[in-house]
Amino acid sequence: MAKLFLGSKHTDWSPRLLRLLWAGEAALVALLGGLSRLLPPDTASALGRRLVAAVGPRLDKTNLIRRNLEIAFPDLDEAQTLHLIRGIWGNLGAVLAEYPHLNRIADDAEQRLEIVVKGNPQVFSGTGKPAVFVTAHLANWELTSHAVVKMGIPVTAVYTRLQNPWMDRMLLRARRLAGRDLIERGNAARQLIRCLKQGTSIGLLVDQRVDSGEPVPFFGLEMLTSVTPAQLALRFDCELIPVQIERLHGAHFRVTFHTPVTADDGIPDAAGKALQMTTRINALFESWIRAHPDQWMCTKRRWPKLRRNR
């Protein structure tokens, strides 16, 4: 999380200074979480938004956000870029403040989580077959797995261990309180295969650059992208379902299960099919980001230092 807020150059600090940074960061987030727990969800969300929107744009990590926005939206002027930067940091603050309220937001009685299903996915028809759900870091992405569970589908989600061990423990505890099974990304491959063999659906966040991935178009540039979700869907003959989340207002959201992504029949090999399916997923993600760019967590480098393809 230190890298999330401050950027990678601070990893050159001595271990003692880095531990102090981690402890301070965890204390601040714990304080925000403690305050949020005492407040209604909308008030907590607004508090987190205001605090992080005020501080975030002054941090080094803003340089990466700016670079990503300049690539994705090259026609923005400076005022529009600054407005989006504040919105992106604000959304991240809202997400942090909403962690204590995830179960409440997903509660039917609260009417805060609208669910839309498109294309009649078979996984919701009682077939017993699992699915591969994929989503992006938009709005409060943590709620996508809640929506899957609300649809009656057991799901195992993949998470990435944070560099800050105190932050990692806090967020992992919040995620587990939601009743989800979790797999750490570094040890995920075999466990994901085991889940699908046992008939358990899996959920993955796949909008970030993966150095071991395949080059796939994203906002006019090729981004190294994981084709693993498509490969797993093909291997186990299950649906690859894109899950979109939008922040409507405050701590109110819409989750849309889109039509399962498939490959054209004319593609002869599995590798080609996986690449085409991943390309279609990236195109969907791009359209979602264009619709709500201020809800996109783009605090990591998405593209290498390349010129835009013309």
Domain assignment present for residue 287? The answer is: yes
Instruction: Look at residue 165 in the predicted model and tell me its pLDDT.
Output: 86
Taking only Cα atoms into account, the Rg of the chain, rounded to an integer number of angstroms, comes to: 19
Q: Is the pLDDT at 11 greater than 60, yes or no?
A: no
Domain assignment present for residue 307? The answer is: no
N-terminal to C-terminal alpha carbon distance within the chain: 35
Task: Judge residue 209's burial from the number of C-beta atoms within 10 Å of its C-beta, 0-12 exposed, 13-18 middle, 19 or more buried.
Answer: middle
How many structural domains is the chain composed of?
1
Domain assignment present for residue 302? The answer is: no
Instruction: Look at residue 179 in the predicted model and tell me its pLDDT.
Output: 63
SS3 call for 301: coil
d(CA 72, CA 68): 6
pTM of the model: 0.91
Domain assignment present for residue 79? The answer is: yes
Q: Count CB-CB contacts under 10 A for residue 284.
A: 17
Contact 134, 157 (CB under 8 A): no
Contact 270, 231 (CB under 8 A): yes
Contact 267, 33 (CB under 8 A): no
Q: How far is CA 125 from CA 18, 200, 226, in A?
A: 50, 15, 28
- Between strands 252-257 and 239-249, the pairing is antiparallel
pLDDT band at 310 (very low <50, low <70, confident <90, very high): very low
pLDDT band at 30 (very low <50, low <70, confident <90, very high): confident
Cβ-Cβ contacts under 8 Å for 307 (sequence gap 6 or more): none
**What's the rounded mean pLDDT across residues 144-169?**
90
Q: Is the pLDDT at 3 greater than 60, yes or no?
A: no
- Structural domain boundaries, residue 192: 2-295
Q: What is the pLDDT of residues 203-217, one digit of tens each?
A: 999 998 898 899 999
Q: Is the pLDDT at 9 greater than 80, yes or no?
A: no
pLDDT band at 150 (very low <50, low <70, confident <90, very high): very high
The token pair at 6 is 């401050």
- Mean pLDDT, all residues of the chain: 91
The token pair at 74 is 């090259």
Print the SS3 string covering 125-176.
Answer: HCCCCCEEEEECCECCCCHHHHHHHHCCCCEEEEECCCCCHHHHHHHHHHHH
d(CA 275, CA 63): 31
Domain assignment present for residue 177? The answer is: yes
Task: Judge residue 271's burial from the number of C-beta atoms within 10 Å of its C-beta, 0-12 exposed, 13-18 middle, 19 or more buried.
Answer: middle
d(CA 203, CA 103): 18
What does residue 149 show for φ and ψ, rounded to 5 degrees? Answer: -65, -40
Q: Is the pLDDT at 7 greater than 70, yes or no?
A: no
Domain assignment present for residue 97? The answer is: yes
Q: Is the pLDDT at 2 greater than 50, yes or no?
A: no
Q: What is the pLDDT of residues 76-111, one digit of tens each?
A: 999 999 999 999 999 999 999 999 999 999 998 899
SS3 call for 299: coil
Contact 239, 122 (CB under 8 A): yes
Q: What is the pLDDT of residues 261-297, one digit of tens each?
A: 999 999 999 999 999 999 999 999 999 999 999 999 9
Q: Give percent above pLDDT 70 in the chain.
A: 93
Residue 97 vs residue 9, higher pLDDT = 97
Q: Is the pLDDT at 309 greater than 80, yes or no?
A: no
Largest CA distance in the chain: 58
Q: Is the pLDDT at 145 greater than 90, yes or no?
A: yes
Domain assignment present for residue 85? The answer is: yes
Domain assignment present for residue 232? The answer is: yes
